[in-house]
Structure 1
Amino acid sequence: MEIFGYIASVFIGISLGLIGGGGSILTVPVLVYLFGIDAFLATEYSFFIVGISSLVGSFSYFKKGLVDFKTAFIFGVPSIVSIFLTRNFLLPLIPGEVFRRGNFIVTKDIFLLLLFAGLMITASYKMIRKRVGLKIETIASENNNTPLAVAEGSVVGILTGLVGAGGGFIIIPALVNLLKTPMKVAIGTSLIIISLNSLIGFFSSSNHIRIDWNLLGRISAIAVVGIIIGAQLSKKIDGKKLKPVFGWFILVMGIYIIIKELFF
């Protein structure tokens, strides 16, 4: 199954480079189901893979002046704080056996995967639904939405800390609709935020686990190749047109995880 895992790793990067998010949603299922890594360790690996890939992908946007560092600070700082608190204090509180009724047991790994599946389904809805950005942007222009952006940054940090997803599907709409950031700048800024969130999440808790650096390095390198491809494709393909297609794929994946973990 590893060969399929490496192929899927390319698409993790392509998604991040093309639409500025979604790659992290793929990473944990790829690690769990194609590489056979347990869910908790997969969230840790996901941080590193997505963080390195997003950092590399952000360079092309930075060179074009498509990164807003002030916005990255407003949204990123509360995210980073939330990730640190979640990984070091909230996640350890989840027991190894979350729920038991007879022979039906929900372990910590299953719980994390179910939580991740719920996040995937939420992300798919945001990708599939028709955009109402113009109306929301008009509202945003009449109000100071910085406090709301800070709050959303904190929520993204908690979710990222729990399931290892970068949160691009939440970050980009928040940047566009709350902080009036142009779409291209939102994608570049999102990659910076995702890279900081993910790498800080990784290094804040990596000392507690044993890491297979050879495997992690190979997957990360392949994902980086994918994000370079995605960044080049973004010049020719409108990522917004691909979002609904990717959204349907994420929806199917989320439903598959729920069915597999609860019934098989």
Structure 2
Amino acid sequence: MDISTIIMMLLIGVFGGFISGLVGIGGAIIIYPAILLLPPLFGAPAYSAYMASGLTSSQVFFSTLSGSLKARKKPEFSPLLVLYMGSGMIIGSMLGGLLANLFNATFVNTIYIIIALLALILMFINIKPSLDQSSFNKPLLVMVGLFVGIISGIVGAGGAFIIIPILLVLFKLPMNTVVANSIVIAFISSIGAFIIKLIQGYIPLEDALFLIIGSIIFAPLGLKLGKKVPSFVQKWIISILIIIAIIQIVL
């Protein structure tokens, strides 16, 4: 493993970890295309879609773990919300991780783009948050979690980039509640995908190590800064990242 690859993995991990903490996502929305596209630009060997998916799953797992340890101390944290949506997602992500072997790289990239576009559309739907946050539609939380988990498992993501707009639009939760809980839900979801891809041999451990180090260090810093960032700014950051990621994959 050469020095350029080490530096590149560190920087990708730093950025992904910081973003995961800042807006409550796992970082996969930008990490996956970055791992696919950046190495060849700097003369390093290119990763296959399967390896990029595996590396992404490792980054998401550790960055969301790091961010979750901080997020669960927030007053907006809801164990009930995390339990029901997270349980559906961990089952779905393991199933998606197994199904990913059945698809080629083009299909995996297409799924990624479709879900990213859906997330982008939902981000621009303006829904007034519900004042009653005392109860949740538990069956719907589990079903939505299962669906998002399957998609997340296929592309190696934690799924927070689609969890956030769903919680905002479908469940009408305020942005601060969504950010506090989505990163924990993404962590639970990432467990299944990470384990499956590790067993399948799609996570090159040396490369993943530096990606993870950068993520763990900077996720809590992003979370700390996120407390001071207005909700509409967080929405725009997520939307811009989704647009950049789609452009990178398409081109």
TM tier relative to shorter chain: 0.7 to 0.9
Amino acid at match of 2:27: G
Tell me the secondary structure at the aligned position of residue 177 of structure 2: helix
The Cα shift of 1:249 comes to 4.0
Find the aligned partners of 1:5 and 1:33 in 2 and give their Cα distance: 12
Corresponding position: 1:42 with 2:52? yes
Q: 1:2-151 alignment to 2 at 5 Å?
A: 2=5, 3-21=7-25, 23-35=27-39, 36-88=46-98, 90-94=99-103, 108-127=104-123, 129=124, 131-134=126-129, 137=130, 145-151=137-143
The one-letter code sitting in structure 1 at the alignment partner of 2:113 is A
The 10-residue stretch of structure 1 (43-52 or 180-189) with the greater mean CA deviation from structure 2: 180-189
- Kept in 1, the 8 Å contact 2:159–2:186? The answer is yes
Q: In 2 relative to 1, CA 115–87 (structure 1 residues): closer, same or farther, beyond 3 Å?
A: same
1:199, 1:45 → 2: CA distance?
A: 13
Question: Given residue 7 of structure 1, which amino acid in structure 2 is its aligned partner?
Answer: L
Partner of 1:103: none
Equivalents in 2 of 1:68, 1:31: separation in Å? Answer: 33
- Does residue 257 (structure 1) correspond to residue 249 (structure 2)? The answer is yes
The residue matched to 1:63 in structure 2 has which SS?
coil
Q: Give the aligned residue type for 1:41.
A: M
Distance in 2 separating the partners of 1:42 and 1:252: 17
Q: Output the CA distance in 1 between the equivalents of 2:193 and 2:26.
A: 18
Q: CA deviation at 1:146?
A: 2.4
Letter in 2 for 1:120: A
**CA RMSD, Structure 1 to Structure 2 (Å):** 2.7
> Does the 8 A contact of 2:29 with 2:245 survive in 1?
no
Corresponding residue number in structure 1 for 2:42: none
User: Deviations for 1:134-192, whole angstroms, at most 9, x for unmatched residues?
Assistant: 3xx37x87x96322222211111111011112221332344455556553333222111
Structure 2 Cα separation of the partners of residues 222 and 77 of structure 1: 28
CA contact (8 A) 2:19 2:27 kept: yes
Partner of 1:164: 156
TM-score, structure 2 normalization: 0.83
Structure 1 portions without partners, runs of 5+:
95-107
Mark the CA change 1:14 to 1:33 in structure 2 (over 3 Å): closer, same or farther.
same
- AA partner of residue 128 (structure 2): G
Q: How far has the Cα of 1:25 moved from its partner?
A: 0.6
- Partner-residue secondary structure (3-state), 1:133: coil
Q: What SS class does the counterpart of residue 235 from structure 2 fall into?
A: helix
Gap change, CA 1:62 and 1:246, over 3 Å in 2: closer
Q: Percent identity?
A: 28
- Determine if contact 1:149/1:174 at 8 Å carries over to the other structure: no
For the residues of structure 2 that align with 1:175 and 1:250, how far apart are their CA atoms?
Answer: 17
Q: How many residues align?
A: 241
The alpha carbon displacement at 1:28 in A equals: 0.9
Residue 77 of structure 1 aligns to which amino acid in structure 2? Answer: S
Change (3 A) 1:242 1:176: closer
Q: What is residue 43 of structure 2 aligned with on the other side?
A: none
Alpha-carbon distance in structure 2 between the residues aligned to 1:121 and 1:183: 20
- Is contact 1:17–1:227 with CA below 8 Å preserved after alignment? yes
Q: Name the SS for the 2:227 alignment partner.
A: coil
Letter in 1 for 2:36: V
